[in-house]
Chains A and B, each alone.
Chain A
Amino acid sequence: DTAVSQTPKYLVTQMGNDKSIKCEQNLGHDTMYWYKQDSKKFLKIMFSYNNKELIINETVPNRFSPKSPDKAHLNLHINSLELGDSAVYFCASSDRDRYGYTFGSGTRLTVV
C-alpha cells in the first residue's frame, strides 16, 4: 500500500527519557513534515524537510531533533521528555503537484 507509515502507534514513557518516532513514506514525495496535535486538538507544524534538507523549524525546543536519512524517511528524536510533550505526533508528506498533505496515522505519546 502506498502510504505514510509511522511507528510506534502508542508510546508511554517516563519523564526524562529519550525516545524516537519513525516515519516512512513510499509515495515518492519530496517533502516530509512533523505536526503536533495537543489536547486542545490544534495541529501545529514542527518541522519540514525537503530532499533531506531542513526547511521549516518552528519554535520547537532543542530537545526535539528531526533526522532525515533519505527523502523517504523523517524520524523524530526527543530528549529529556517532559509532561508537556504528551500529544499525538503526525508525520506527513507532500509533493509539488499541490495535492495537499498525506498524513500518517499518528503516534500518541504519553509522558508520565
Chain B
Amino acid sequence: DAKTTQPTSMDCAEGRAANLPCNHSTISGNEYVYWYRQIHSQGPQYIIHGLKNNETNEMASLIITEDRKSSTLILPHATLRDTAVYYCIVTVAPQTGGFKTIFGAGTRLFVKA
C-alpha cells in the first residue's frame, strides 16, 4: 500500500467546512483512497472512498486531484461531534483475503464552537 502524509492537527469553526488534505504521491493505478475517522475511544468509522472521480455521500465529499497524488476530504458543515482523528489510507480493493490496511497517525480535527 502507498504511504500517505497528513497534517498532525487542524482546527475548524463549527458550521464551517472542514477541508482535510492528504498526500499520496506514490499511489498506484489500482489503489483506492479511503477515509476513516476515529472518535475518542470508539472504533474507526468508514467515511468515504474513491479511485479517480470525486465522490460525495451523506457524510462528506472526497476530491481527488487529476494526477491522484493528493486528495481532500470535505466535511461541509462541521459540528462539534466531528471532532476526531481522520485517517487517509491508500489500498487496493479487497480481493480474496480482504484489506491489509496500514493506519498512520492521521489528522486530529478539533471543531470549535
Contacts and interface: CB of A to CB of B under 8 A. Distances in A.
Interface of A: 4, 30-31, 33, 35, 41-45, 48, 50, 55-56, 90, 92, 94-96, 98-106
Contacts of A42: 103-105
Q: Which 8 A-B pairs have the closest CB atoms?
A: A103-B43, A31-B98, A55-B97, A43-B103, A100-B46, A98-B93, A94-B98, A50-B97
Nearest to B92: A98
B42 A105 contact: yes
Interface of B: 32, 34, 36, 41-46, 49, 85, 87, 93-105
Nearest to B48: A100
Interface residues of chain A: helix, strand, loop or mixed (majority) = strand
Contact of A90 (B43, B96, B97): B43
B43 A31 contact: no
Nearest to B96: A50
